[in-house]
Amino acid sequence: MSIPSQDLTLDAAIQPAQALRFGRVRRAGRLTNVYWVLFAIFVFVAIFAPLIVPYDPVKANVAERLLAPSWHHLFGTDSNGMDVFSRVLSATRTDFSVAIGGVAISVLLGAPLGAISGYTGGLFGEALSRVAEMLQSIPIFLFALMVLAALGNSKALLVGMIAFVTTPVFLKLTRSVVLPLRSRDFIASARCAGLRPGAIMARHVLPNALGPIASQLSISCAYAIQIVAGLSFLGLGVKIPEPEWGSMIQQGSEYVLFGQWWVSVFPGVAVLLAVITFGGLGRQLSAWYEH
């Protein structure tokens, strides 16, 4: 018995499509592994940097200033003779601790406020949403300039800046997730069971917002690293000589035109890789939540 030609045509059309989807999944899996490997490397370096750096990251040696990359100094030395490789590794702890610390505080503040705003609704919920929009409209660098000029540079203030910028993001995100949940059957069942609003939000509302929060958490960390590096580049971040990627880029920028490119390029590459890593993890977490 012969097979109809239209079935052969259909099979021929389906097989390439399946192969294409399979190829995309395999490429996505490899790319995902790269993001997680990079993240694991960054975390390892941030934790064990004092044990693995070959030189003291804050010890100056004028006799070896602006040396090109070599086996003795893999990333060369800066204008003070400090080893750039050691400073790049040590700066990982600084940038990651400030960025992740600020974002963690913003999650602890923004997610509950967003859940309250979305669940209660009404004038109070709208007021919280408008306040969040007002905070988001404030230029971060101008605001940081005023605050840091008045209070001085410190890691605690940088963490507060990150929390100030990202808290409205998590508030509005959680609110957008919670608003449709108010009319769901399981929420009505929880009310009928006599659960108080606080218990309903803790047991049923917030757990349903964990997926979007997790994906936004990673993306916000990428944004926070850019903010920390940008503020330090302007001289408003971590105090010199403490290693930090943004301040290292700023210190080396004036030497690029004279051929000493390594002073600012290597910390710049570190910022780029960190942002790409967090951004990729955020996209992957978002895709997992959607599926």
pLDDT value for 32: 57
Instruction: Say what the pLDDT of residue 17 is.
Output: 40
Q: Does the pLDDT at position 269 exceed 90?
A: yes
CB 83 within 8 A of CB 77: yes
Q: Which of 207, 117, 112 is nearest to 167 (CA)?
A: 112
> Which pLDDT does position 13 carry in this prediction?
39
Domain extent listing, the chain: 26-290
67, pLDDT greater than 60: yes
Percentage of the chain lying above the pLDDT 90 cut? 33
Q: How far is CA 168 from CA 146, 185, 195, in A?
A: 20, 29, 28
In single-letter form, the type of residue at position 108 comes to L
Phi-psi domain of 259 (left: phi exceeds 0; alpha: psi -120 through 50; beta: other): left
State residue 148's pLDDT score.
78
Closest residue by Cα to residue 261 from 22, 32, 68, 41: 68
CA–CA distance, 136 with 164 (Å, rounded to integer): 9
* 3-class DSSP assignment, residue 258: helix
pLDDT value at 199 more than 90: no
pLDDT, one tens digit per residue, over 229-263 is 888 888 877 887 889 999 999 889 889 888 899 99
Among 25-34, 69-78, 109-118, which range has the highest average pLDDT? Answer: 69-78
Strand partners, 83: 77
What is the tens place of the pLDDT at every residue in 138-189? Answer: 888 788 888 877 887 788 888 988 999 899 999 988 888 888 777 777 777 7
The residue with greater pLDDT, 201 or 131, is 131
pLDDT for the residue numbered 1: 43
106 falls in which pLDDT band (50, 70, 90)?
A: very high
pLDDT at res. 154: 81
Asked if residue 32 lies in contact with residue 284, where contact means CB atoms within 8 angstroms, the answer is yes
Which range has highest mean pLDDT (7-21, 49-63, 128-142, 275-289)? 49-63
Question: 231 near 141, Cβ under 8 Å?
Answer: yes
Q: What is the pLDDT of residue 290?
A: 61
Closest-CA residue to 235 (of 254, 249, 223, 225): 249
Going by pLDDT thresholds of 50, 70 and 90, the confidence category of residue 5 is very low
Class of domain 26-290: mainly alpha
Residue 27 has pLDDT above 80, yes or no: no
Is residue 93 a contact partner of residue 65, using CB atoms and an 8 Å limit? no
Distances (CA, A) of 267 to 19, 204, 262, 272: 41, 44, 9, 9
Task: Please check the confidence at residue 101 and state whether its pLDDT lies above 90.
Answer: yes
What pLDDT, on the 0 to 100 scale, is given for residue 273? 94
The mean pLDDT of 92-96, rounded to a whole number, is: 92
**H helix runs in the chain, sequence order:** 5-52, 84-120, 122-136, 140-151, 155-178, 185-192, 197-200, 210-233, 245-253, 262-290
Section 276-281 average pLDDT? 90
Q: What sign results for the dihedral spanned by CA atoms 281, 171, 105, 209?
A: negative
> In 3D, which of 88, 81, 86 has the Cα closest to residue 67?
81
